[in-house]
Amino acid sequence: MIITVVSFDSHKSYAAVDVTLNGTGDVPNISVSPTILNFEAIRVRRSSTPLVVTISNTGTSDLHISDMLLSDAVNYSLDVNDGINPCGSTSPTLTPNNSCTVTITFNPTQTSELDGSLSINSDDPAAPTVNVSLTGRGTLPRCGCELYPDSTVVPRGGTLGFRVDVTNYTIGTWIFWVATKVTMPNGHWYPGSGYLVGPVKVTLTYRQSKSKHISHVIPNTAPLGIYTYHGYLGMPGDIWDECSFNFEVTE
């Protein structure tokens, strides 16, 4: 800005001088970190670990955030009450040199690449909208279980032995749970609730397999007949694969 200063002397003459003024005044300045969140592969109907986004005001006046909007609120969720210093709402006010945090969680509902963004709108004149890019992939892990009995005929008082193999066919490292139970000749489950073995947690990398030999002593009072031994692989309450074999209890 240029201001002209006029000076008069006693003889009614004057002189004009131009003075240049520079300055921007107090303004807010928004800073968001990070601006890219990559959740990688998450199984459908599971939730990722929440990732933190920090919003800061590095300016010299209050920063007024008017809104925070997810472009995909189906597969991503925003929590304004999480992180080290929660923002508390989608429209917080940040004084100079202060910051607040929000978290975003990936909750895929389908098996595909699922990209989105978080838009943060404020009264920063230089950057009224800051976008945080969100990337993630919903997947169904392919896994397998196999049961290999030592024998399919076991007398009362004898030992039922078998090998269980579990394999991860999905890229990445996955945590699986293995459990077993038995169907008796009368169709009832044994045990009546819970599992005979497990659930046991198993961590498998891509194409990794793990094996274990398991044995059970058949009670002398066990009903005679055909039993089915079941193996389950997955998460608690969510079976991803099942395997089984039949065996007969004899005198």
Q: Predicted confidence band at 199 (pLDDT cuts at 50, 70, 90)?
A: very high
126 conformational bin, left if phi > 0, alpha if psi -120 to 50, beta if neither? alpha
**Which of the 8 DSSP states describes residue 212?**
E
Task: Please report where in the chains the tokens 């992180």 appear, as a residue.
Answer: 83
Q: Reply yes or no on whether the pLDDT at 97 is more than 80.
A: yes
Mean of all residue pLDDT scores within the chain: 91
Give the pLDDT score at 102: 98
pLDDT reading at 227 higher than 60: yes
What are the backbone angles phi and psi of residue 164, rounded to the nearest 5°?
Answer: -110, 130
How many whole angstroms from its chain centre is CA 120?
22
Residue 38 has which token pair? 């990559």
| Residue boundaries of the structural domains of the chain | 30-139, 143-250
Q: Provide φ and ψ at 140, rounded to 5°.
A: -110, 115
- Closest to 34 (Cα-Cα) out of 83, 71, 90: 83
Fold topology of 30-139: Immunoglobulin-like (2.60.40)
Contact between 145 and 241 (Cβ < 8 Å): yes
Of residues 20 and 139, which shows the higher confidence score? 139
Residue for token digits 């009614």?
12
Q: What is the CA radius of gyration of the chain?
A: 33
The answer to whether the 30-139 and 143-250 domains have the same CATH topology is: yes
pLDDT band at 20 (very low <50, low <70, confident <90, very high): low
pLDDT of residue 18: 62
C-alpha to C-alpha distance for 71 and 207, rounded to whole angstroms? 36
- Residue 182's pLDDT band (boundaries 50, 70, 90)? very high
pLDDT at position 3 over 70: no
In angstroms, the CA 64 to CA 174 distance is 42
Average pLDDT over residues 210-223: 97
Higher pLDDT, 5 or 123: 123
Name the pLDDT band for 148 (thresholds 50, 70, 90).
very high
What pLDDT was estimated at residue 238? 76
Q: CA nearest 148: which of 171, 136, 164?
A: 164
Q: Which of 175, 162, 118, 166 is nearest to 143 (CA)?
A: 166
**Percentage of the chain surpassing pLDDT 70?**
90
The share of the chain scoring above pLDDT 90, in percent, equals 76
How does strand 238-250 pair with strand 153-155? parallel
Q: 39, 115 in Cβ contact below 8 A?
A: no
Are 95 and 62 a contacting pair, CB within 8 Å? yes
Ramachandran assignment for 23, one of left (phi > 0), alpha (psi -120 to 50 degrees), beta (any other): left
Whether 6 has a pLDDT exceeding 70, the answer reads no
Asked whether the whole model's pTM tops 0.75, one would answer no
- Rounded Cα distance between 202 and 232, Å, is 12
Per-residue pLDDT reduced to its tens digit, 39-90: 988 877 789 999 999 999 999 999 999 999 999 999 999 999 999 999 999 9
Say if residue 13's pLDDT is above 90.
no
Lowest mean pLDDT across 42-56, 122-136, 213-227: 42-56
Q: Which of 3-12, 38-47, 92-101, 232-241 has the lowest mean pLDDT?
A: 3-12
pLDDT of residue 140: 74
Classify 143-250 by CATH class: mainly beta
Task: Answer whether residue 105 shows pLDDT above 80.
Answer: yes
45: left (phi over 0), alpha (psi -120 to 50) or beta: left
